[in-house]
Amino acid sequence: MTKKRLAIIGNGMAAGRLLDELLRRGGSSAFEIAVFGEEARGGYNRILLGRVLSGGEPDQITLKSESWYAESGIAFHSGVRVTKVDPVARRLATSDGEAHPYEVCVFATGSSPLIPPIRGLKSADGSPREGVHAFRTIDDCIAIREHARPGSSAVVVGGGLLGLEAAKALCDLGLHVTVLHLEPVLMNTQLDGSGGELLRRAIEKMGIFVRTGTSADEVIGNGHVEAVKLRSGDVVPADLVVLACGIVPRVEVAKASGIPVNRAILVNDLLATQVPGVYAVGECAEHEGKVYGLVQPIWDQCAVLADLLTGANPRARYRGSKVYARLKVAGVEVASFGVPNAEFPTDEVVQVFEDRRGVYRKLIIRDGKLAGAMLVGCAAAAPVLVQMFDRDEPLPPNRLDVLATGLSLSTAGEREICNCNHVTESAVLDAIRDGYDTLPALCEATRAGTGCGSCRGQLAGMLANQTSEKSFDRITG
C-alpha cells in the first residue's frame, strides 16, 4: 500500500501529542509524516518554561529530542517556517524556498504572545527596545536570563499563569519584581475574587510586588529600558520588561492560504476545515465557537484526529471538552474547572477559608453534582473532584467530606494521579514496581507528568515512598 504524505505544521505540544497518538495507532505504516517547526529544536513543554527561566537547561522540559524524529521515521524540518499552503495543488511552501507535497495537512501552529499597544516598545529606529522581551519560547527565556542581573528591577506585564511563573523565576534570580495586571483579580480567567486575593497574598509573601487594575502605558528609556509608566501616571523603574499578557491563535498562514478563520481556524467535529485534506488541532483551532488553551482539550482533539486519520475509529468525533486546570502557579497549588460562580438560584455554593494555611476551596453544586470547583493553596482533592466532574457523579451528602479527604466511595479505587492523561495511582505504582524508578523513566512509561506537569511532585513523592519501602524490606527481610 502506498503511503500518504502527512504534513504537520507546527512542532509544539499539540503536534507532539498528535505524533504520539498516530504512532500508537500504527500511523507510520499509513503515512510518510513530515513535521515543520519554526524553532530549531525538538518539541518541549511550554507550560514548564519557568524552569528554564530559573536557570534550568532546555533538556529539562524537552518532550522529543531532535534525534527522536529520525528514530521514529519522521522527517523533521526544524527552523523552517511554512509560509503558505496550496490546497488545490496540495503543496506547502516554506521560508527556505522549498515546496513540499502532501495529501493530508494538519495545522498545529499554536499561538503567539499578545503584544499590547504600549508606547515605547520599540526604539526610534523601529527595532525592539533593548530589555523588552516576550515570554513564550525557550529562546525568550535564554534572552531574558542574559538581561536578568541580581539587584536589578523587572516589570512583568500580565498576572496570568505565565506572567506569575516569570515573576517567580525572576524573583528567585535576585531581581526586584513588579507584576502589572489589567484586571482586579490575578488569574481572573480561573479564579474568583477570594481565590485571586489569596493567590496575591501568597505571591507577595515571596517578595513580588503586585499591582492589579492597572496597565503599562509607556516604556521609557534611551535605547535600553529604564522605566514603565502606568496608565495611572505612576512610573516604575525597570531594567527589564517581560510581556506575558495573553496569547493569540496563529492563523496567518491559514488566512494566506484561503482557509476559513474566525478567531482561530474553523473546524468541525472531525477537526476538519472546509478545505478538503486540511485539519487543525490545539490553540489554533476553533470548534463550536471555542478556542482551547489548556492541555486536556488538546489531548482530546489529537486522539480523535489520530483515530480518524489512521482508521482506528472512523466514527470518532470531537464534541468539545470539559475544561479544567490543575497548576502550580509560582509554587502555589491552583486547580479550577467548570463554572467559577453560581449561575442559578438553585445552585449550591460551598466555600472553605483557611487564612492561616493560605487555603481556599470552593464548590459549585448543581442538582447534587459538581458544576465547578476552585482550589487555591491545597489541591489534594483535585484529582477526585475532576473525575467526579468528568463522570457527572453525585457528591456525597456531606459536601465537606470530599474536600477534607479528596475521596469518595465511587472513585476511591480509581484515583487519578495525572488528570491530563488519566493515569491512575495503581498504574503508577505498577510501573514503579516494574523498575521505572526515576522520574523521567516513570513519566515516559506512564505518560503521567507529561501534560501540565502539576502532578510531577506527587510522582516524585510516590517514587520516594516506594524506594523507602524497598529499603526497609531489604533491612528487615
d(C-alpha 412, C-alpha 356), whole Å: 29
71-109: pLDDT as tens digits: 999 999 999 999 999 999 999 999 999 999 999 999 999
Q: What is the CA radius of gyration of the chain?
A: 23
Which pLDDT score is estimated for 64? 94
Which pLDDT score is estimated for 83? 97
Which pLDDT score is estimated for 391? 86
> Residues of the chain with pLDDT > 90: what percent?
66
Residue 435's pLDDT band, with cuts at 50, 70 and 90, is: confident
Domain extents in the chain: 4-112+248-310, 132-245, 324-466
Which pLDDT score is estimated for 328? 79
Which pLDDT score is estimated for 438? 79
Measured between alpha carbons, how far is residue 274 from residues 201, 269, 301, 311, 334 in Å? 48, 12, 17, 20, 38
Residue 173: pLDDT over 50: yes
The grid cell for 203 is 505571591
Q: What is the CATH number of domain 4-112+248-310?
A: 3.50.50.60
d(C-alpha 407, C-alpha 221), whole Å: 55
Task: Point out the least confidently predicted range of 106-110, 220-224, 417-421, 439-443.
Answer: 417-421
DSSP state of 1: -
DSSP β-bridge partners for residue 218: 119, 229
d(C-alpha 65, C-alpha 59), whole Å: 8
Residue 229's pLDDT band, with cuts at 50, 70 and 90, is: very high
Residue 407: pLDDT over 80: no
Fold for domain 132-245?
FAD/NAD(P)-binding domain (3.50.50)
Count Cα neighbours of 22 within 13 Å in the Cβ-side half-sphere.
24
Do 4-112+248-310 and 132-245 share a fold?
yes
**CATH class for the domain made up of 324-466:** alpha beta
Q: Please tell me which residue, 188 or 326, carries the higher pLDDT value.
A: 188
d(C-alpha 436, C-alpha 428), whole Å: 9
Residue 204: pLDDT over 50: yes
271-314: pLDDT as tens digits: 999 999 999 999 999 999 999 988 889 999 999 999 999 999 99
Residue 412: pLDDT over 50: no
